[in-house]
Amino acid sequence: MNSEIVVETRNLSMHFGGVKAVDRVNFNLREHELRCLIGPNGAGKSTFFKCLTGQLAPTSGDVVIRDFNGTGRLPHQIARLGVGIKTQVPSVFDGLSVNENIWLAARRWHGAARARSLTDQTIERLKLGDIRSDLVGLLAHGQRQWVELGMVVAAEPWLVLLDEPAAGMTHDEVERTVEIIREINQQATMIVVEHDMQFIRMISSKVTVFHEGRILIEDTMDVVTADPRVREVYLGHGTS
Amino acid sequence: MDLFFALALQIVYGIASLVLISLGLAIIFGMMRVINLAHGEFLMLGGYTVVISTNHGVNIWFAMLVLAPLVVGIIGVLVERLLIQFLYGRMVDTLLATWGLSLLFVGLVTSIFGAQTATTISPPLGVINIGDYSSSAYELFLIAVTVVLLLLVYAVLKLTKLGLVARATMQNDDMASALGVSTKRIYMITFGLGAAVSGLAGGLLAPVTGVLPSIGATYIAKAFITVISGGASILAGTTAASILLGGINGIMAFLTGPTLGEVALLATAIILIRLLPTGITGRFFRKSL
Amino acid sequence: MSWTRENRWRAALVLVGVIFTLAAPGVLELFTIINLSTAIALAILALSLGLIWGYGGILCFGQTAFFGIGAYAYTIAAVNLGGSSWAVLIAILVAAVFAAVLGYFMFYGRVSDVYMAVITLTVTLILYSLLRRTSGPEYKIGNALLGGFNGVTAPPLNLPWSPYMPLFPEHVFYVGMGVLIIGYIICAWLIQTHFGRVAVAIRENELRAELIGYDTRFYKLAMFTIGGAIAGAGGVIFANGVGRITPDIFNLYNSALAIIWVIVGGRGTLAGPVMGSFALFYLTSWLGTQGVLNNNLVLGLILIIFVLAVPRGILPTFVGWWDSARSRRAMQRRELKVRRRRSRRSSELQEAADE
């Protein structure tokens, strides 16, 4: 299957003072793929992610999302392209109800009536019905992550970027999240930053390994986990 | 030529005053990220200390250089212990509480000393002549004191153990406390020192401006503008912003009069903040002190 | 707007306001009515800050700037134009434009919360010090002298487009209450529109609002401008209530008052700050008469105490107690039902066992 490339970075770099958090990364992603970004702490995955979402303006290089030059754009401009984003630490409206949170996401791109039905559908789909009137700030961590996922899908994006969607979840919650992600992947192209290897095995085919700001290797999970360089990088034997 | 020197003196004096009134605020903000809205009142209290003690026979130099910083420094420590320390991390609440404190101080001083000046005192040192122009020798003295003060603060921060520990705490307080530093004490000392510097400044400026309970308000706008324009670095930021803003103020004041001079200062500050929202030292001289 | 519980309370409040407006001039003395007009003007200022801070999350320490600009602009325009009708509109427009320009610099410059507070306060103080220096005859706009620290006398409001028919003080009271009530209704409506809900969301989490696709800078600018316009309208009423506008309107004390109304009355409500402003107006007037405690002192203490101990303000705290009392009663009723059911079941079992 040779679908078009929908996300591309060319020589993307992000420097913080002397630190090269992202170092000349060339990355591309095809339509309907679900790619996981993995790597040890400090490898540059989240920084790279933030360059894609507009939270950071890269020092050099380009970010291209389906012909649109997304380099250094503001987050709302990226979102406007139809991109749904979930951040590492859940960005949700703590003082508002679950319903209001999801409604705000739905209402951005649709009229009042469609927004209301989309909100109901999303709450159904994510099984948030019992807690729909509760304040998000009072929910458990896993539930908050799902509310955020709900906000992402309610906008019906074609590209979904998730940063650690399974962080801090129990085993059951992780399974549920895997289901949700597989469902989303049926319509949308996805990039998921994650640490949890089990989780990654359950959802993806191709994986990109980051190390010291660069892409170390890009292949299926089996190939990657068997690669001795990846072992070194994670377990730290010898120098890299 | 004489005009040039007289004018230059005025401008440098203007810059030095800005540094004086802003340095205490910059120390507290730069080290603790606390914006102290009662800063103007620290200056005011320094001024009152000088005026009241000289009226009771204390030597003016002693009052200005020793007594004022001491008294206000102690007040600063008390404020930190009784109020500020409960609000760390809550920046908006700190702003509000220090604003309340500012009102409190104004109210207290008005209640005790009345709404008018205790008595004014005239600037010591008389007049110096630059050709046809005469300037106040006191202004020269203030410029000299400002330079000494900057060097002193630099020396304390760079060369003493206290300075090192304080800078470490400012950059990463978790790490510092993991290394055994009592961050509480550091904050208390830093706030006290910042207050002391403000008290000194207020005392030094008392002969020039006179003292009123409400005089804090006249200082605070300029101090804030200077500190925010300067950015996070205490010394480099305050100095750079003072030079820029004070310079433009002085030149415009000479050309068009004091009111437009003020307007020019403000306009410069607004443009500066728009272009460099994190201040001058947010972009230039980043690693400086 | 739907008939939520909150909206029902708001409607009740509006009704009380209307009744009060109609009844007061018959019951209260003229002096009280005139005094009230000033209090009403300040209440409108409180409303504007309650809107942008409580709902919009915009921390503006200098809301009195727009209030004072409204007052000055009204006065200057009325003096120049010889009548109040256009002056009122000009005043509100000038205040709004000023807010828009300042807001543009701050929001599009991505200034942080704390800096914004300091910058807005500084702007107000700058207005204070600049206007104090305008004593000479050369400082004037058109025919209107700025008057320095003595200020300017404000021409009274007149019937629309009839400059020779000035309004009596009771009528100023009616106009003031009208502006307050209509302003309140507008604000209540606004926060329930899509726009308003987005503004509240931005207060909760600006990043998430951006990630959804809202340009938060624009929303904050719009809220800020609307708040400035409302404050400006308050300034017009103030000019009429007080008669003479001085630069003192911009001083630290009055700026602090505005913040205190919202903190004491309740951040996150519209009625709270309004009631807070009335309460503090009468408190400070009374303090002024008995002369024992200095106003600054008392206000400073109130601010400190509220920040440390009652951060949400009086109204939300009361509402919180009321709500938790209701839910406790609801829980107790549920408990009672469960216990009755259990005891009925066990007595049924007992009977069955006995047979």
Q: Which of C105, C125, C297 sits opposite B274 (nearest CB)?
A: C105
Q: For residue C60, is pLDDT > 60? A: yes
Q: For residue A240, is pLDDT > 50? A: no
| Residues A233 and A186 both lie in one domain | yes
Average pLDDT over residues C180-186: 96
Q: How confident is the model at residue B117 (pLDDT cuts 50, 70, 90)?
A: low
| Residues A2 and A18 both lie in one domain | yes
Q: Most B CBs within 10 Å: which of C63, C135, C294, as the mutation test of the B interface?
A: C294
Q: Report if residue A239 sits inside a domain.
A: yes
Q: Which of C118, C251, C308 sits opposite B97 (nearest CB)?
A: C308
Residue A53 contacts C where some CB pair is shorter than 8 Å = yes
Residue B106 contacts C where some CB pair is shorter than 8 Å = yes
Alpha carbon of residue C153 to chain centroid: 25
pLDDT tens digits along C72-81 = 999 999 888 8
| Alpha carbons B229 and B269: distance in angstroms, whole number | 6
Question: What stretches of C70-175 adopt beta strand conformation (E)?
Answer: 140-141, 144-145, 152-153
What lies within 8 Å, CB to CB, of B222 at 6+ separation is: B18, B21, B22, B265
Q: How confident is the model at residue A24 (pLDDT cuts 50, 70, 90)?
A: very high
Backbone phi, psi, residue A122, to 5°: -65, -40
- Give the pLDDT confidence score for residue C288 in this predicted structure: 81
- Give the pLDDT confidence score for residue B172 in this predicted structure: 81
Mean pLDDT over each residue of chain B, to the nearest integer: 86
| Alpha carbons C147 and A220: distance in angstroms, whole number | 79
Domain boundary residue, one of A106, A139, A156 = A156
Q: How confident is the model at residue A7 (pLDDT cuts 50, 70, 90)?
A: very high
Q: How confident is the model at residue B3 (pLDDT cuts 50, 70, 90)?
A: confident
Residue in chain B lying closest to C253 (CA): B103
At C323 the three-state DSSP class reads helix
Domain count, chain A: 2
| Alpha carbons B93 and C179: distance in angstroms, whole number | 32
Give contacts of A155 with chain C, Cβ < 8 Å: 212-213
Q: Report if residue A88 sits inside a domain.
A: no
Write down the ipTM of this complex. 0.90
| Residues A162 and A146 both lie in one domain | no
The answer to whether the CB of A143 falls within 8 A of the CB of A108 is no
- Give the pLDDT confidence score for residue B118 in this predicted structure: 61
| Residues A5 and A78 both lie in one domain | yes
Q: Report if residue A19 sits inside a domain.
A: yes
Q: What is the pTM of this model?
A: 0.86
| Residues A58 and A100 both lie in one domain | no
- Give the pLDDT confidence score for residue C133 in this predicted structure: 80
Q: How confident is the model at residue B220 (pLDDT cuts 50, 70, 90)?
A: confident
Check residues A183 and B123 and name the one with the higher pLDDT: A183
- Give the pLDDT confidence score for residue A238 in this predicted structure: 46
Check residues C92 and C310 and name the one with the higher pLDDT: C92
| Alpha carbons A145 and A86: distance in angstroms, whole number | 9
Average pLDDT over residues B76-101: 90
% of chain C exceeding 70 in pLDDT: 99
DSSP state of C166: B
Q: For residue C291, is pLDDT > 70? A: yes
Task: Using alpha carbons, list the distances in angstroms from residue B228 to A164, B121, B236, B237, C114.
Answer: 37, 32, 12, 9, 11
Question: What stretches of chain C adopt beta strand conformation (E)?
Answer: 140-141, 144-145, 152-153, 244-245
Greatest mean pLDDT range, A33-42, B92-101, C206-215: C206-215
pLDDT tens digits along A80-122 = 999 999 998 899 999 999 999 999 999 998 999 999 999 999 9
SS3 content of chain C, % helix, strand, coil (to 5): 75, 5, 20
Average pLDDT over residues A182-202: 89
Q: For residue C43, is pLDDT > 70? A: yes
Check residues A227 and C52 and name the one with the higher pLDDT: C52
% of chain A exceeding 90 in pLDDT: 57
Residue B93 contacts C where some CB pair is shorter than 8 Å = yes
Give contacts of C60 with chain B, Cβ < 8 Å: none
Check residues A170 and B274 and name the one with the higher pLDDT: A170
Give contacts of A107 with chain C, Cβ < 8 Å: 194
Domain boundary residue, one of A107, A130, A156 = A156
Q: Which of C110, C122, C297 sits opposite B108 (nearest CB)?
A: C297
| Residues A144 and A201 both lie in one domain | no
pLDDT tens digits along C143-160 = 777 888 888 888 887 777
Interchain contact, B217 vs C256, CB within 8 Å: no
Q: Report if residue A47 sits inside a domain.
A: yes
- Domain spans of chain B? 2-215
- Give the pLDDT confidence score for residue A36 in this predicted structure: 93
- Give the pLDDT confidence score for residue A239 in this predicted structure: 45
| Residues A103 and A78 both lie in one domain | no
- By residue range, what is the domain housing residue A51? 1-82+158-240
Can you give the CATH number for the domain in which A78 is found?
3.40.50.300
pLDDT tens digits along B177-188 = 888 878 888 889
Closest CA to B21 of B180, B183, B149, B169: B149
Chains that touch B (3 or more CB pairs under 8 A): C
| Residues A72 and A11 both lie in one domain | yes
Check residues B41 and B264 and name the one with the higher pLDDT: B41
Q: Most A CBs within 10 Å: which of C208, C218, C267, as the mutation test of the A interface?
A: C208
